[in-house]
Amino acid sequence: MNDSSFNEKLSSDFNTVELPADVYRYVILTGILAVSTLWTTGFTGMIPKIVLAVGIVLIYFGRPPFSLGRAGQIASLFFLGITYYQWKKDIPGIVALSDFTCWIMILQWWMITDIASAQASNLLSAMLVFAAAAMNVNFLFPLAFFPYVIFLFISLSKLGFNQHIADIGKNTRYSPKIRFIAAAMSSRSWLSVVSQGFVFLVLWIGFFYLIPRPDIMGLAPGVGQRKLMGFSESLNLGEIGTIRDNPMVIMRIRPILNPPISPSIRRKLQSVLLRGCSFHSYKRGAWSRSGYRGYYINMSKNGGEFRLSDENTNSNQLVALEILLENTDPPVLFIPDKTKTILLDIPSIQIQTDGAFFLVNRRIGFETYQVKVALDDKAITDPGPLKDVKFPSFVEHFLDPGDSGYAVKTLAEDVASSTPTLLGKVLAVHAFLNGNYRYSLEEFSTSVRDPVANFLFQSQQGSCEHFASAMTLMLRHLGIPARPVNGYIMEEWNNFGNYFTIRQSDAHSWVEVFFPDQGWVSFDPTPPSTSGTLLQRFAILRDLRSRFEGWWFTYVYRFDKKIQASGFRKLFMQAGGLHKQLALVAGILRGNLILKILLLIALIILYVFSARIRLSKTKNRHWIPNWYNEWTMRFDHMREKWETPKEYHSRLIRLGLFPREMRPELEKLEHAIENYAFGVDHTLAEKEGRQVIGNIVEALKSK
Amino acid sequence: MISNTNFKLTTTGKIIAFLGIFLVLAANNTGNNLLYLLAAGSLAMIVAALITAYFNITGLNFRWEGPFECFAGEELHMTIQVAEKHHRYRFDLAISCDFHGLLRPEETTLFDVYRIKKKRGCCKISDVSLTSLYPLGIFQISTHMEACEVWVFPQPLPSSLSDSVEGIGKFKDSNIDFSGDFWMQRPYILPEDAKHINWLVSARSEGEWVTVNSSPRSEPLKIWIDTQVLSDATIEMFLRQTTDLLLRAHESHTKLFIWYPVDRDNPVWISVDDRHGLTTILKWFAELEPGREYSIPDDNIASPAFRLSPGSFNEGRSDGGIERVKT
């Protein structure tokens, strides 16, 4: 836990306790390992080599060889400028910030003099690890991460120990007496320490699964049942419970516009619905997708482009959107309605007959794709009286109201009786639901046979799914093809990041109605909600959240697969380059005798130089040697700072800890200490001293 | 011994906690599993440190090796015995300035505590606690010790007894006097009558000495401390001087008895030669307040008692000195 050199550095003013060399080395090592986690991303260039070189030098010295002073502070400004320049060159923000942190950490190493500055270095190393994790790259990260954790624990433990000693010194006017240091640790005590580490591991794994997280990969309970927490491939009505407002981000949609988006376009975009999938048949309160077939599309043949409509649209009305879809389940691609073209870099996708797009293989990280959406306000053409409208055969399935009751049919006919046209009837039903029913996320009824009938005739309040289901069934009873659709709405605009944020709580259901000349047209019968969440009520909270989210996404998280893949390639190139460099050096050395001789001379000079450094360190040391201090610390009565070894031994004899017969041996020990402190041959003196100590210990044991 | 355990997050712990919460929010926002891993690690570090710190310090038995006594203004050295009874290793324990890196299972060890008390009296030292920053310096956990009783005696002030008439009397070392009369000597001053010179003492000393008051060695010397004349202005000095006197008497094994009237029903003469007796007297001094009335020695005593008052130590006072108690 501590080395004896610490005692030499104790001073009366404990606020300036110098950091022991071994603690300093562990802190440097922790920093080097943190950079190694960053190195696994492949985006670090020369920095890991510089960090390693500087770290090795500092580890050798065990302390900063000289103080940087003001130069260190000026250097940090210089590196800040470099970082800014990198960011302007479109290097991902997180990479630039990581580089900056590495430089600052190196400067910090040079300024470590006490516990607080060492902890600051540890904090910087933790920041580097967080950045590497945020880049979410590859499987090499854990290989570097776990050694980092081990050395972080060691350095924290040692810093905590020294902090404790320093606190003791501050609070009393006495020198702290340190007893039973690591030399006394047995295998059993180490086992105790290891078992504590095991507790940490168990807690780590436990917390990893216990930390609340959204429905990803089916980890959360109830993902199969629809609890209206968000989008799902099923649509079951009649479940009880308050809907939770899940803020998990599903996707971000960024308009790709030059110049930037205007408020009018933004408003139009906010009325766009993001289509997920639709439903086919209704039975006992549940909608199903059975009956839909899927087809695989090879996107690479079309250069990644998929056209949804052949209709020519004025290019001024087309808005390109970039969609960044998080790793969600099910793997649906959400397509805004009125999308004309989709651009994907995915090799193949699956498209189902209702127009739902599914990913075939789910890749790590978020998926990015682009769509072009037409924002023209084209009015819906009324095809005329419903009885004259001929629907194609493929929409026959969408006329079946399932086991929906007769009462629903009667209601639909009453509502739509005022108009004979198709569009008129649709709008009548839409207006009826929108104006007479209340939006609510509470489910009050229990186990009703027909939730839609219960919604229409009993509760008269419900969620968007009730509204969509009711409108669909009413239209089907009227003979109009309709289907409910699940997806998301796009409302939350992040002014800081210039994108729309779509969350689980933005999940929505609406209705698609088939018009013979126009295809499936969306209608949303759900009235707006009267009560808002806390964020909706307090604009300032909303703004703060947008700012944080925008900052995080823009500068930290925006690290897509392409950038990750290029980093991985760079990593392999660096590893290959290193191998070649080593082979080159080996080849040169093999053939060149003069170079070998020069290298040998350089090593000898280094050895001599380091010996002089060790000698100069010896001169500045206290004259009582470490090996003697280590031995005296095993006794209950430790040597006082002002006591010479002779006085100390006399005291031990007076206290009865040593028998008087041992006086000659103690004199030999005193002699050895004097030779070590004031003589020439320190090594021999130390050897003699240790031998005498061994004899004394043996003699004490035998007594 | 009952103790209270307190937890406090250190700066390191606060930083780790903040980072953990920050990581949880970031992980929740992004769904990044690596961030979940780091967040879980931060939280696990704090919880594991808390559990380890708790078990590192709880279950220890503490016992003061007291009661403790000291003189006012002098360093008091106390020891507290800490015993481990739960088959656990304990690390990095500190009480006051004493730091133990390791305490093995079922081991007992002693911690040293030093204090300086400036005022006499009986006080309780209650600000002692066992602290530890083990394992990672995240939590500072401390267990408060039960208060320990400390007797602080008046600080001895070397002084000499004054004569009732002239000069200053000296309290002579009993080793010098063989006749047994060693109490109350003073230098011989011309032109006093030379017959007052105590030649037995003077032959073994520098100069001539005159005996002022004496008591045979074989007979016990009784002193009654007159507390009724003590005032706020004189009590501290008087007690310090008397303490010094008693200590010297104790060291020289003088058969000196002090009238101890604290127990009203059973006042006794206490010998200062006996350590327990000396301690009893000094404890009385520690708590003595001016104006307290105590009983005086009655007249049924075999040998006369001397009265000790603040004036006994004053120089040049005409009414000072040790007087014989009128019987």
Strands (E) in chain B, as ranges, are 5-9, 60-64, 68-71, 75-84, 90-95, 98-103, 108-116, 121-125, 129-132, 139-144, 148-153, 185-187, 209-211, 221-225, 256-260, 268-271, 305-308, 323-324
Name the packing angle between helices A593-619 and A561-591 (round to 10°): 100
How confident is the model at residue A347, as a pLDDT? 81
A129 and B97 within 8 Å at the Cβ level: the answer is no
**Can you tell me the distance from the alpha carbon of A376 to that of A113, in angstroms, rounded to the nearest whole number?**
67
A211 and B40 within 8 Å at the Cβ level: the answer is yes
Task: Answer yes or no: is pLDDT of A34 > 90.
Answer: yes
Task: Answer yes or no: is pLDDT of A445 > 60.
Answer: no
- Give B67→chain A minimum CA distance, Å: 22
How confident is the model at residue A604, as a pLDDT? 81
Q: What is the mean pLDDT of residues A391-402?
A: 89
- Give B275→chain A minimum CA distance, Å: 22
B138 and A178 within 8 Å at the Cβ level: the answer is no
Considering only CB atoms, B96 lies closest to which of A141, A153, A172, namely: A172
How confident is the model at residue A652, as a pLDDT? 85
Q: What is the mean pLDDT of residues A487-505?
A: 82
Split at pLDDT 50, 70, 90, the class of A236 is low
A208 and B88 within 8 Å at the Cβ level: the answer is no
How confident is the model at residue A624, as a pLDDT? 80
How confident is the model at residue B219, as a pLDDT? 61
Q: Which residues of A touch B99 (CB under 8 A)?
A: 164-165, 168, 176-179
B26 and A180 within 8 Å at the Cβ level: the answer is no
**Can you tell me the distance from the alpha carbon of B249 to that of B221, in angstroms, rounded to the nearest whole number?**
10
**Can you tell me the distance from the alpha carbon of A528 to that of A620, in angstroms, rounded to the nearest whole number?**
79
Instruction: Tell me if chain A has a CB within 8 Å of the CB of B34.
Output: yes
**Can you tell me the distance from the alpha carbon of A319 to that of A142, in angstroms, rounded to the nearest whole number?**
42
Task: Give the DSSP H/E element, type plus range, for residue A189.
Answer: helix A187-210
B41 and A149 within 8 Å at the Cβ level: the answer is yes
Mean pLDDT of chain A: 78
Distance of CA B191 to the CA centre of its chain: 48
Task: Answer yes or no: is pLDDT of A242 > 50.
Answer: no
B92 and A1 within 8 Å at the Cβ level: the answer is yes
> What are the pLDDT digits (tens) for A650-699?
888 877 788 888 888 898 999 888 888 877 677 888 888 999 999 888 88
**Can you tell me the distance from the alpha carbon of A226 to that of B227, in angstroms, rounded to the nearest whole number?**
91
How confident is the model at residue A35, as a pLDDT? 92
Q: Which residue has the higher pLDDT, A675 or A326?
A: A675
Task: Give the DSSP H/E element, type plus range, for residue A408.
Answer: helix A406-415
A164 and B137 within 8 Å at the Cβ level: the answer is yes
- Give B305→chain A minimum CA distance, Å: 42
Instruction: Tell me if chain A has a CB within 8 Å of the CB of B131.
Output: yes
B101 and A327 within 8 Å at the Cβ level: the answer is no
Which has the closest alpha carbon to B315: B141, B168, B187, B209?
B168
Distances (CA, A) of B178 to B173, B203, B217: 11, 12, 9
Q: Which residues of B touch A130 (CB under 8 A)?
A: 19, 23, 35, 38
Task: Answer yes or no: is pLDDT of A54 > 70.
Answer: yes
Considering only CB atoms, B24 lies closest to which of A164, A178, A211, namely: A211
Considering only CB atoms, A199 lies closest to which of B33, B51, B100, namely: B51
- Give A153→chain B minimum CA distance, Å: 7
**Can you tell me the distance from the alpha carbon of A608 to that of A547, in angstroms, rounded to the nearest whole number?**
59
How confident is the model at residue A383, as a pLDDT? 85
Considering only CB atoms, B89 lies closest to which of A153, A192, A216, namely: A192
How confident is the model at residue B171, as a pLDDT? 39
B43 and A211 within 8 Å at the Cβ level: the answer is yes
Three-state DSSP at A252 gives strand
A133 and B26 within 8 Å at the Cβ level: the answer is no
Task: Answer yes or no: is pLDDT of A458 > 80.
Answer: yes
A636 and B35 within 8 Å at the Cβ level: the answer is no
A208 and B36 within 8 Å at the Cβ level: the answer is yes
How confident is the model at residue A413, as a pLDDT? 93
How confident is the model at residue B166, as a pLDDT? 28
Q: Note which residues in 96-125 of chain B have CB less than 8 A from chain A.
A: 96-104, 110, 112, 114
B97 and A196 within 8 Å at the Cβ level: the answer is no
User: Which of A407-411, A527-531, B154-158, B220-224 has the lowest average pLDDT?
Assistant: A527-531
Distances (CA, A) of B44 to A236, B40, B54, B55: 39, 6, 15, 16
Considering only CB atoms, B102 lies closest to which of A185, A208, A248, namely: A185
User: Which of A25-34, A232-241, B209-218 has the lowest average pLDDT?
Assistant: A232-241
Q: Which residues of B touch A168 (CB under 8 A)?
A: 94, 96-97, 99
User: Which of A147-161, A165-179, A659-673, B94-108 has the lowest average pLDDT?
Assistant: A165-179
- Give A52→chain B minimum CA distance, Å: 24
Considering only CB atoms, A177 lies closest to which of B37, B99, B102, namely: B99
Instruction: Tell me if chain A has a CB within 8 Å of the CB of B82.
Output: no
Q: Which residues contact A49 (CB under 8 A, 6 or more apart)?
A: none
Q: Assess contact for A520 and A275: CB atoms under 8 A.
A: no
How confident is the model at residue B316, as a pLDDT? 36
User: Which of A217-231, A316-330, A417-431, A570-584 has the lowest average pLDDT?
Assistant: A217-231
Q: Which of B25, B65, B97, B98 to mutate to test the interface with A (most CBs of A within 10 A)?
A: B97
Task: Answer yes or no: is pLDDT of A182 > 50.
Answer: no
Q: Note which residues in 40-59 of chain B have CB less than 8 A from chain A.
A: 40-41, 43-45, 47-48, 51-52
Q: Report the residue of chain B nearest A151, measured CA to CA.
A: B136
State the count of interchain CB pairs (< 8 A) between A and B.
171
A211 and B102 within 8 Å at the Cβ level: the answer is no
Task: Give the DSSP H/E element, type plus range, for residue A568.
Answer: helix A561-591
Q: Which of A23, A115, A204 to mutate to test the interface with B (most CBs of B within 10 A)?
A: A204
Q: Note which residues in 4-23 of chain B have CB less than 8 A from chain A.
A: 10-12, 15, 19, 23
How confident is the model at residue A620, as a pLDDT? 45
Q: Which residues of A touch B131 (CB under 8 A)?
A: 164, 167
> pLDDT > 70: what percent of chain A?
75
Considering only CB atoms, A213 lies closest to which of B36, B88, B134, namely: B36
Which has the closest alpha carbon to A320: A270, A254, A251?
A254
Q: Which residue has the higher pLDDT, B149 or A69?
A: B149
Strands A305-307 and A339-344: antiparallel
Q: Which residues of B touch A181 (CB under 8 A)?
A: 101-102
A160 and B30 within 8 Å at the Cβ level: the answer is no
Distances (CA, A) of A315 to A318, A366, A370, B6, B105: 5, 29, 16, 70, 81
**Can you tell me the distance from the alpha carbon of A482 to that of A474, in angstroms, rounded to the nearest whole number?**
9
Core vs surface per residue A530-561: b (16+ CB within 10 A) or e: eeeeebeeeeeebeebbeebbebbbebbbbeb
**Positions of chain B with pLDDT under 70:** 1-3, 29-31, 160-185, 211-220, 298-305, 314-327
**pTM value?**
0.55
Q: Which residues of B touch A160 (CB under 8 A)?
A: 10, 12, 92, 133-138
> What are the pLDDT digits (tens) for A74-131?
888 888 888 888 877 767 778 888 889 999 999 999 888 888 889 999 999 999 999 8
Task: Answer yes or no: is pLDDT of A241 > 50.
Answer: no
A176 and B43 within 8 Å at the Cβ level: the answer is no
Split at pLDDT 50, 70, 90, the class of A243 is very low
A161 and B92 within 8 Å at the Cβ level: the answer is yes
